[in-house]
Every structure is written in structure tokens, then in C-alpha cells.
Amino acid sequence: MSSEEFAKHEKEIDAQTRAFNGTMPTNGDLQRETLTGGGVVYVNSYTRSDGTEVKGYYRSKPNF
């Protein structure tokens, strides 16, 4: 992850770190959170309208 990407997503990274008691969650941790209804969802891979391919990733649930 570049410095720019980190700065852009720092709030989300900090929230995930707090949710896992100060450690960076592994993909296994995030999968368990997704399956148990925790604060994480998986976003499937997709292609943006400009042709950019985005790999699947985990993110925090949106607040509605």
C-alpha cells in the first residue's frame, strides 16, 4: 500500500485496528467477522467504468 493509499484510508484502517484490539486483522479474522455479522463486509472484484480492475477486499459495514 502506498503512502497516498494509507492516508486516504487511514480512518478505516484505524477503526479496523481498534475493532481487533490494536492488531491488524488477518483475512481469516475478516472472513469470520463477515460470517458472524460483525462490522465487516466483503466487496467482490469488479471493473470500473474506466476499465480499471478492482480486486475483492474487506471493508467496514456502511452506516445507514
Which residue in this structure is represented by grid cell 483475512? 27
Name the percent of the chain lying above pLDDT 90.
20
| pLDDT exceeds cutoff 80 at 40 | yes
| pLDDT exceeds cutoff 80 at 8 | yes
Domain locations along the chain: 3-60
Task: Using pLDDT thresholds of 50, 70 and 90, give the confidence band for residue 54.
Answer: very high
pTM of the model: 0.49
The upper half-sphere exposure of residue 49, i.e. CA atoms within 13 Å in the direction of its Cβ, equals: 0
